[in-house]
Structure 1
Amino acid sequence: MRRYDVDKNRLLDAVRGLLDEGFRYPVLHTAVDHGEGVELVYLFRALGPPGESEVMLAVRLDDDDLRVSSLTPLVPGFNFQEREVYDLFGVFYEGHPDLRRLLLPDGFQGHPLRKRYTLWDGDIQ
């Protein structure tokens, strides 16, 4: 599988290029909190032999700016996956048609898959 690190300001152009090359199938979108920022991971697939037909894009976001362009208008299959990452990691997808919590109830405070999220105050006994 090929991996490309993409600047968040070039993400839409990179995805348009992948779509033009036949990578039209969204497989996965998730995030990883490395403690100093969040890495977004996108996996696309094209029809073809294994190993040659998968491409991964990785986008690094700083903790102080968790905003990125939504891919949902280009790739509708990422709709719920972007909502899940928004809900659990706090990434804001600019241009998403329906960005709201997917798993957690309205009014829930915080984003529980972030490393800095506090489950409770106090000591564990």
Structure 2
Amino acid sequence: MRSHTQRLMVCAASFAALCMGLAGCGSNTASTGGDSGEVVNLTYMHRLPDSEGMTLVKDIVAKWNKDHPSIQVKATKFDGAAQDMIKKLETDVKAGNAPDLAQVGYAEVPEVFTKGLLEDVTEEAAKYKSDFAEGPYS
């Protein structure tokens, strides 16, 4: 039986692959939910512009939630600068109420890494390596 953390990482990897695929960037247990049949709820924070002509995050999330009823995602758009979002994430991590997933740019990865805001998902991500382009995967 998988632990809650392992199920969460499988879900996170699956959701990330879905987002990348639907955004044009690139059968597992995550697609059917947790082993116990319980609903897994994920929170996702992003700063994407959701501009006209783009695939909207709310549409991606709605499709995901429809196609995966046992893995539900709630997206929250952060309307501030990248640095402000990192400050919020740092505060939320310390308070124990950080989102399950947060989308940050490549430029912000070193800062969120040095602040200890990243989870090592190498083991789980390796199972889905073929779903990612080489650059984002590495």
Structure with higher helix content: 2
Q: Same fold (TM over 0.5)?
A: no
Structure with higher strand content: 1
TM-score normalised per structure 2: 0.27
TM-score normalised per structure 1: 0.29
